[in-house]
């Protein structure tokens, strides 16, 4: 602890926490940019990363919706699905006066994103009078409704076999294709995070947090709660609609299946955000990426036996397959996080780098030096 405090003091006196944080962030970005060029990495590892980026977009956008705006929605995966399904359907069947052939993959993704936003508008409007548990129940119902329709209307949607979208990238060489897909998804994550941060740091972000704290009080303070509630639904729906349409356009996955829209999948998005830090966009994104990576990495654990020990079958390796247990372990982490670190496992780290703790310390010092205030507090507390 003493060592940590010395390091802390050195950082504060030297580069400063915030700058150190930015430097680390830059290093992480450089690592991600370099990663696909590492010849020792398999295409499988790149696929895991691509999936990690996708889920990072899902979790961070959900963090804006639920953690910052307080709209605890279970409909996030459904909006993602709307983006993907609509992109797939318009590219296959056309749309009104547009023939299927005239709609490019990019056009289909655009239409999918737009429709996700429009549905977000309607759902946001329907949810205006609903709060907390009712909002959650409504969005669960909406999400299930959408999944069941996609499953049942198999003539159009392919049912449980899923729906193929028009491939966005058509690159014959598998290695090159994986590399381009990797960069595309990473770029999308960066763009989405920048957009989310822009909203969160703008006056809109302030109003959303005010609404989360107390919707009536925010309204009495002049915040147009109707506008911002709808806006946050439209904005996050469009982000996940876009991410879904791109990811399933053969970038991260070949087809969208209704199984992806199940409540379990939505719960995972929530779990990633909770573990990373629901009120921090970067925390939720990092939480999702790390969790996806660990969930993949723990599929099979091989421990080589030392001292020439062998198993009954003669092999020198003990193979443990925690695959069946990994979600249970993951659940345990979530339970412990909620009980002991409600702001997420990464939140203390992010707070430390932001320097917010320093400001709080100064405030406390000021308060303690204010005897008048201390006197008032004593009387107030009596």
Partner 1 sequence: MSEINLELNSIVMRFGGNQAVDHVSFSVIKPQLIGMIGPNGAGKTTLTNVMSGMLKPTNGTIYLNGRRIDGHPPYDVVRAGLGRTFQITRALGRMTVMENMMVPGLAIRPRARRADIEARAHEILDLLTIDHLTNELSRALSGGQRKLLELGRLLMLDPAVIILDEPFAGVHPRLQETIYSYIHRVHEDGKAIILISHNMGAVFELSQRLIVLNNGALIADGEPQAVKSDPAVIEAYLGEDED
Q: Contact positions toward partner 1, by CB under 8 A?
A: 203, 206-207, 209-210, 213-214, 216-226, 359-360, 362-363, 366-367, 370, 372-373, 375-377, 379-381
Task: For the CB of residue 283, give the shortest distance to partner 1 in the complex, in Å.
Answer: 15
Task: For the CB of residue 201, give the shortest distance to partner 1 in the complex, in Å.
Answer: 11
Nearest residue (CB) to partner 1, 180 versus 225? 225
Nearest residue (CB) to partner 1, 221 versus 294? 221
Nearest residue (CB) to partner 1, 221 versus 332? 221
Nearest residue (CB) to partner 1, 172 versus 220? 220
Nearest residue (CB) to partner 1, 6 versus 227? 227
Task: For the CB of residue 202, give the shortest distance to partner 1 in the complex, in Å.
Answer: 9
Cα separation, 278 vs 66, in Å, equals: 8
Nearest residue (CB) to partner 1, 26 versus 360? 360
Task: For the CB of residue 224, give the shortest distance to partner 1 in the complex, in Å.
Answer: 5
Task: For the CB of residue 199, give the shortest distance to partner 1 in the complex, in Å.
Answer: 14
Task: For the CB of residue 382, give the shortest distance to partner 1 in the complex, in Å.
Answer: 9
H or E stretch covering 164: strand 163-164
């Amino acid at each position: 602890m003493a060592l940590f405090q010395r390091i802390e003091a050195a950082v504060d006196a030297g580069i400063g926490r915030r700058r150190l944080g930015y430097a680390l962030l830059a290093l992480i970005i450089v690592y991600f940019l370099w990663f696909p060029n590492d010849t020792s990495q398999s295409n499988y590892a790149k696929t895991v990363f691509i999936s990690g980026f996708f889920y990072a977009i899902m979790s961070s956008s959900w963090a804006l919706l639920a953690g910052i705006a307080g709209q605890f929605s279970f409909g996030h995966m459904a909006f993602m699905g709307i983006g993907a399904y609509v992109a797939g359907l318009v590219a296959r069947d056309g749309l009104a006066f547009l023939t299927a052939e005239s709609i490019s993959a990019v056009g289909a993704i655009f239409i999918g994103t737009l429709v996700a936003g429009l549905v977000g508008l309607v759902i946001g409007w329907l949810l205006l009078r609903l709060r907390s548990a009712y909002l959650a129940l409504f969005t669960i119902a909406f999400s299930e409704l959408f999944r069941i329709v996609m499953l049942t209307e198999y003539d159009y949607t392919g049912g449980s076999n899923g729906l193929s979208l028009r491939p966005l990238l058509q690159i014959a060489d598998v290695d090159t294709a994986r590399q381009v897909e990797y960069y595309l998804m990473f770029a999308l994550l960066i763009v989405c995070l920048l957009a989310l941060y822009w909203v969160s740091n703008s006056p809109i972000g302030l109003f959303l947090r005010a609404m989360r704290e107390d919707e009536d009080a925010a309204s009495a303070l002049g915040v147009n709660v109707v506008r911002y509630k709808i806006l946050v639904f439209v904005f996050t729906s469009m982000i996940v609609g876009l991410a879904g349409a791109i990811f399933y356009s053969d970038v991260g996955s070949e087809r969208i299946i209704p199984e992806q829209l199940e409540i379990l999948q939505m719960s995972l998005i929530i779990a990633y955000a909770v573990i990373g830090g629901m009120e921090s966009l970067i925390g939720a994104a990092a939480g999702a990426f790390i969790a996806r990576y660990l969930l993949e990495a723990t599929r099979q654990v091989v421990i080589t036996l030392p001292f020439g020990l062998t198993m009954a079958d003669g092999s020198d390796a003990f193979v443990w397959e925690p695959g069946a247990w990994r979600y249970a372990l993951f659940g345990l982490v979530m339970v412990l996080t909620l009980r002991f670190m409600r702001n997420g496992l990464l939140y203390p780290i992010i707070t430390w780098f932001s320097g917010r703790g320093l400001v709080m310390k100064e405030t406390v010092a000021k308060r303690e030096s204010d005897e008048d205030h201390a006197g008032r507090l004593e009387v107030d507390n009596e």
